[in-house]
Structure 1
Amino acid sequence: MTTPSIRPATPADIPAIAAIYTHAVLHGTASWELAPPDEAEMLRRLEATLTGGYPYLVAEEAGTVLGYAYAGAYRPRPAYRATVENSIYVAPAAQGTGLGGRLLEALMADCTNRGFRQMIAVIGDGTGASVGSRRLHEKAGFRLIGIAEKVGFKHGRWLDQMLMQKELGDGDRTPPA
C-alpha cells in the first residue's frame, strides 16, 4: 500500500467529498447537520472556501479520495481575520490509519503559510463519540479551551461541543497582516 498524497481539492473531487461527508452526517456526530447536502451544495462550499482565500485539501491514493480537510473563517468580523476553524473528514475505511493527522498537519502548514495565526477546532461531541477527533487534535498540539454542554441534539441525544486551539506561526507575538 502506498502513502496517500495530499493535494488541493478540485471540483472533480466533489463526488468523493460528498460521499465521505454524507456518511459523517448520517452516522456520526462530527457534523451537526441532520441531512447531508447534495453535490451542488458541496461544490458551492468548496468554491466559497477557495474564493475566501482558505485551503481545502484532499488525501488521495490510487485515484481514490480517502479524506479531506479545509479551513475557513472562525467568525465573520474583521478582528477575527487571523483565526481559522478547521474541518477534517476521513472515509470510514481509512479511519485509524493516521490519515487524519497527516491532513491536519498539511492544513496547519498551509494556513501558516497564508499568514493565519490561530486555528480553532470545534469538535462536535468531543466528550463522547468524537473522542478520536479530540485525540487527533491533542496529538497535533491543540489545547482544550472550553466545552459547551448539551448545545446540540442529534441521533436522539444531547451533544457537547468542545473547542480546542493551536497557535500557528507567530501566533500573538506580532500583529496580523
Structure 2
Amino acid sequence: MTVRPATTADLGTVADIYAHYVRSGVATFEVDPPTRDELSSRLGGVTAVGLPYLVAEIDGQVAGYAYCAPWKTRPAYRFTVEDSVYVAPHATGRGIGGALLDALLDHCAAAGIRQVIAVIVDADATGSLTLHRQRGFVDAGRLSAVGFKHGRWLDTILLQRTL
C-alpha cells in the first residue's frame, strides 16, 4: 500500500468511491454525488490552505482517500480541522483507513494543526468509531437528529484529537 497526495487524475476513482457512500449509506449527509468538477474544486480548496488530501493505492489502484478541511471559516478556528476518510467498498478490512488517518494526522501536525474533529454518523459506524478511537480520538459530544437521509433521522457523534 502507498499513501500519497491526491491529484486531479485520481478524482474519477475518488468520485466513484464517494458516490457509493452518498447513494447507499449515511457516512455522508450529501444526497447527490458531487460532480468531478466539484471534487476538483474541493481538492484545490483543501490543498490551497496547506491541508492534506491523500489517496491510498494498492497495486497501483486508488483504494481509498482522505482529507482534512477547515472546521469553521472564522479565523479563531484556523488550527482546527475536520477529517474525512473513505475506503472503496471492495478494499475494506485491509488497513487502508488506518494508513490514511495516520498519514492525515502526521500531515496536520506538520502543518501546525492543533485539533482534529471527526463527525461520525451514529448508524452502522462501528468501524469509523473504532478507527478514530484507536488513534486517540475521544468522544466530544453528540448531536441528535441533525440529518435526515434514506427516510430516517440521524445523530452524529463528535470525536476530537489534540495533536
TM-score (ref. length: structure 1)? 0.90
- Any idea what SS the aligned residue of 2:46 has? helix
2:112 aligned with 1:115, yes or no? yes
Query: Given the alignment, which residue of 19, 31, 36 partners 2:33?
Result: 36
Q: Which consecutive aligned stretches of 4+ in structure 1 deviate over 4 angstroms post-superposition?
A: none
Please give the residue correspondences for 1:97-112 in structure 2 after superposition, counting only pairs within 5 Å.
97-112=94-109
Query: Given the alignment, which residue of 114, 125, 130 partners 1:135?
Result: 130
Name 2:47's counterpart in structure 1: 50
CA RMSD of aligned residues (A): 0.8
Q: CA–CA distance in 2 between the matches of 1:51 and 1:165?
A: 24
Q: What are the ranges of 5 or more consecutive residues in structure 1 without an aligned counterpart?
A: 169-177
- Any idea what SS the aligned residue of 2:131 has? helix
Aligned identity (percent) is 50
Please give the residue correspondences for 1:6-155 in structure 2 after superposition, counting only pairs within 5 Å.
6-123=3-120, 125-126=121-122, 128-155=123-150
Q: How many angstroms does 1:53 deviate by? A: 1.5
Residue pair 1:26, 1:34 contacting (<8 A) in 2 also: yes
- Any idea what SS the aligned residue of 1:121 has? strand
Residue identity matched to 2:41: R
Residue identity matched to 2:34: P
Residue identity matched to 2:102: E
Q: CA–CA distance in 2 between the matches of 1:41 and 1:77?
A: 23
Residue identity matched to 2:148: F
Q: How many angstroms does 1:131 deviate by? A: 2.1
Residue identity matched to 2:145: K
TM-score (ref. length: structure 2)? 0.97
Q: Which structure has the larger Rg? A: 1
Residue identity matched to 2:136: G
- Any idea what SS the aligned residue of 2:57 has? strand
